[in-house]
């Protein structure tokens, strides 16, 4: 069962929300005027201790959740943290403090705070963060509001985290990340909090965060809107260094970047002639279509086998 099938199964068995609220199946749920989301980082699935420090882990566990709030247009208010601690680096003196320091720093930078949580011993480390956000008066920006003909845009470049992972996992030479920018993209992603708020205010039709790859997440936005999407591979903005890693892996750079995950950019659908809000770097990468499905142009360059991103550190 893949992740989307599992989410549908869970929604069938445990879904159901009050009228006006949002339940399982968007970036965050909505309860009244509060957005709430929960994402975990699991040792040896989402990260390895060989290339992740406790501070990296804390930063990223919060960042991925703030990215989900951003995709609803919400302003972060608070987060709670569940830390199941396995053997390894977290047992070193100062490691737990360093992890929470990193979370507190990111929280403060994004206007929220760590207000509670739980800790436990465990055989492996799992960090689960729940983030709460305040929705704009206009309500949450959903995945499903796109219209046929809308432009599909992304708030920056993609592929850096996937390239960083390929380097850290030893699938590509370390020399391809001489300044560590790819590693930073992998380990310390910057959630697009201010951009999400500005895009919501600008009235974009639909929004999703790019955590599982541009192609897959654009496909989710399109499907939630009852539409399809055509991606223009030549327009996909590659982060510096991504093309070199993709070529070292024998992959088409644009296809690699469009299918690699953990970019934590925002993907939005909006009228093609709508201006980007001030300070939000929007790059058009495709078009929403009445015809369902995900297609790439030029045809044949995006391997359907690489469309997904399975959040497995062992994957190339």
Identify which of residues 83 and 257 has a Cβ nearer to its own copies in the complex. Answer: 83
Residue from 8, 42, 49, 249 that binds its own copies (CB under 8 A)?
Answer: 42
Closest approach of Cβ 172 to its own copies, in Å?
A: 24
Residue from 51, 82, 184, 274 that binds its own copies (CB under 8 A)?
Answer: 82
Closest approach of Cβ 229 to its own copies, in Å?
A: 24
Closest approach of Cβ 294 to its own copies, in Å?
A: 23
Q: Does the footprint of its own copies cover residue 14 (CB under 8 A)?
A: yes
Q: Does the footprint of its own copies cover residue 22 (CB under 8 A)?
A: yes
Identify which of residues 80 and 224 has a Cβ nearer to its own copies in the complex. Answer: 80
Site for its own copies in 107-126 (CB under 8 A): 107, 113-124, 126
Map the chain to HEC letters.
CCHHHHHHHHHHHHCCCCCCCECECECCEEECCEEEEEEEEEECCCECCCCCCHHHHHHHHHHHHHHHHHCCCCEEEEEEEEEEECCCHHHCCCHHHHHHHHHHHHHHHCCCEEEEEEEEECCCCEEEEEEEEECCCCCCCCHHHCCCCCEEEECCCECHHHHHHHHHCCCCCHHHCCCCHHHHHHHCCCCCHHHHHHHHHCCCCEEEEECCCHHHHHHHHHHHCCCEEEEEHHHCCECCCHHHHHHHCCCCHHHHHHHCCCCCEEEEEECCCCCCCCCCCCEEEEEEECCCEEEEECCCCCCHHHCCCCCCCCCC
Query: Which residues of this protein are in contact with its own copies, per CB under 8 A?
Result: 3, 6-7, 9-10, 12-18, 21-24, 28-29, 31-32, 34, 36-40, 42-46, 77-78, 80-82, 84, 96-97, 100-101, 103-104, 107, 113-124, 126, 128, 130, 132, 311-312
């Amino acid at each position: 069962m893949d992740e989307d099938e599992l989410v549908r199964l869970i929604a069938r068995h445990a879904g159901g929300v009050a009228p006006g609220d949002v339940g399982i199946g968007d970036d965050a749920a909505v309860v009244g005027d509060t957005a709430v989301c929960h994402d975990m980082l699991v040792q040896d699935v989402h990260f390895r201790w060989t290339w992740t420090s406790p501070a990296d882990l804390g930063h990223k566990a919060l960042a991925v959740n703030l990215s989900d709030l951003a995709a609803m247009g919400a302003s972060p208010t608070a987060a709670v943290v569940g830390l199941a601690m396995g053997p390894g680096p977290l047992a070193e003196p100062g490691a737990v403090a360093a992890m929470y320091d990193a979370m507190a720093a990111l929280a403060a930078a994004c206007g929220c705070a760590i207000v509670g949580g739980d800790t436990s011993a465990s055989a492996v480390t799992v960090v689960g963060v729940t983030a709460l956000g305040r929705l704009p008066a206009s309500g949450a920006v959903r995945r499903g509001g796109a219209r046929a003909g809308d432009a599909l845009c992304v708030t920056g470049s993609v592929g850096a985290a996937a390239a960083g992972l390929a380097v850290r996992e030893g699938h590509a030479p370390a020399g391809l990340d001489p300044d560590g920018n790819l590693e930073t993209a992998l380990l310390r992603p910057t959630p697009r909090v201010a951009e999400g708020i500005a895009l919501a205010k600008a009235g974009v039709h639909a929004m999703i965060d790019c955590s599982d790859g541009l192609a897959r997440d654009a496909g989710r936005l399109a499907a939630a809107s009852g539409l399809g999407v055509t991606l223009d591979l030549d327009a996909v903005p590659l982060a510096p260094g991504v093309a070199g890693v993709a070529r070292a892996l024998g992959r088409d750079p644009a296809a690699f970047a469009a299918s690699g995950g953990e970019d934590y950019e925002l993907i939005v659908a909006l009228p093609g002639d709508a201006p980007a809000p001030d300070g939000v770097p929007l790059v058009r990468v495709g078009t929403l279509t009445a015809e369902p499905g995900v297609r790439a142009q030029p045809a044949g360059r995006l391997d359907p086998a690489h469309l997904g991103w399975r959040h497995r550190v062992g994957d190339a």
